[in-house]
Amino acid sequence: GAGVSQTPSNKVTEKGKYVELRCDPISGHTALYWYRQSLGQGPEFLIYFQGTGAADDSGLPNDRFFAVRPEGSVSTLKIQRTERGDSAVYLCASSPGRGGTQYFGPGTRLLVL
Amino acid sequence: GESVGLHLPTLSVQEGDNSIINCAYSNSASDYFIWYKQESGKGPQFIIDIRSNMDKRQGQRVTVLLNKTVKHLSLQIAATQPGDSAVYFCAEIDPFGNEKLTFGTGTRLTIIP
């Protein structure tokens, strides 16, 4: 597609379970970002990839969160031992490269019961 | 640390009138700002950006003004339409070379028919 896509659009899981959220960036975009948005708040930065490597993971809240981008395109955000406080919209964005405009996907709405 | 904030959480404007959404930032080193529009259930949509070497930039029906002296920027939307109803965020790129965006809490704009 023309824009950033994210799957699933909604995910309901139980406390303690493992989840994976997928992001397909705009074709040709080398930079990819994950953000988390809680209700009524602005998005908060989690991690930034330039190519295959995580250039900045300072926003990941703890070691239950991990993200990969093995081939420099699709990225997966992984959350282990989910907690109710992880419930939020997880947004992915991509840009043509360093300093480029970040274009967002529709997000994955995660609900941890 | 740097922060980005908005003066008003909500704004109601009559259809056809102009609207102004304000944003303040605290870090004088900030040099790149972006306005995003977020409709319910969707990801943030890029509207317009401005760098610190400019004080005004215009797009289609939108104008962003940057006042570096008082660390303030605004988004002006001309001749508002019902489709302009959304939450508007200002965001800044980390001025220290990282690629992360820092968002404010947003202003909800409602267009009254």
The Cα of A16 is separated from the nearest Cα of chain B by a number of Å equal to: 26
User: At A44, which CATH number?
Assistant: 2.60.40.10
Q: Residue B8: what pLDDT?
A: 57
Instruction: Residue A99: list chain B partners with CB under 8 A.
Output: 32, 93, 99
Count of structural domains, chain A? 1
User: Looking at domain B4-112, which CATH architecture does it have?
Assistant: Sandwich (2.60)
The number of C-beta contacts closer than 8 angstroms across A and B is 61
Dihedral of the alpha carbons of B23, B25, B30, B32, in degrees to the nearest 10? -10
For chain B, residues with pLDDT lower than 50 are 1-3
Q: Per 3-state DSSP, what percentage of chain A is helix, strand, and coil (rounded to 5)?
A: 5, 50, 50
Instruction: Residue A4: list chain B partners with CB under 8 A.
Output: 43
Are residues A46 and B98 in contact, defined by beta-carbon separation less than 8 angstroms? no
Of A26, A36, A25, A35, the C-alpha closest to A75 is A25
Cβ distance of B44 and A33 shorter than 8 Å: no
A10: containing domain: 5-112
pLDDT tens column, A4-62: 999 999 999 999 999 999 999 999 999 999 999 998 899 999 999 999 999 999 999 99
Average pLDDT over chain B reads 90
Q: Find all residues with CB under 8 Å of A20, minimum gap 6, and list them.
A: A76, A77, A78, A79
Cβ distance of B99 and A103 shorter than 8 Å: no
Q: How do the domains of chain B map onto residue ranges?
A: 4-112
* CA pair distance A79, A92, nearest whole angstrom: 15
| Structure token digits, residue B99 | 């690629």
pLDDT tens column, A63-98: 999 999 999 999 999 999 999 999 999 999 999 987
Of residues B95 and A103, which shows the higher confidence score? Answer: A103
Cβ distance of B101 and A102 shorter than 8 Å: yes
Q: What are phi and psi of B34, to 5 degrees?
A: -135, 140
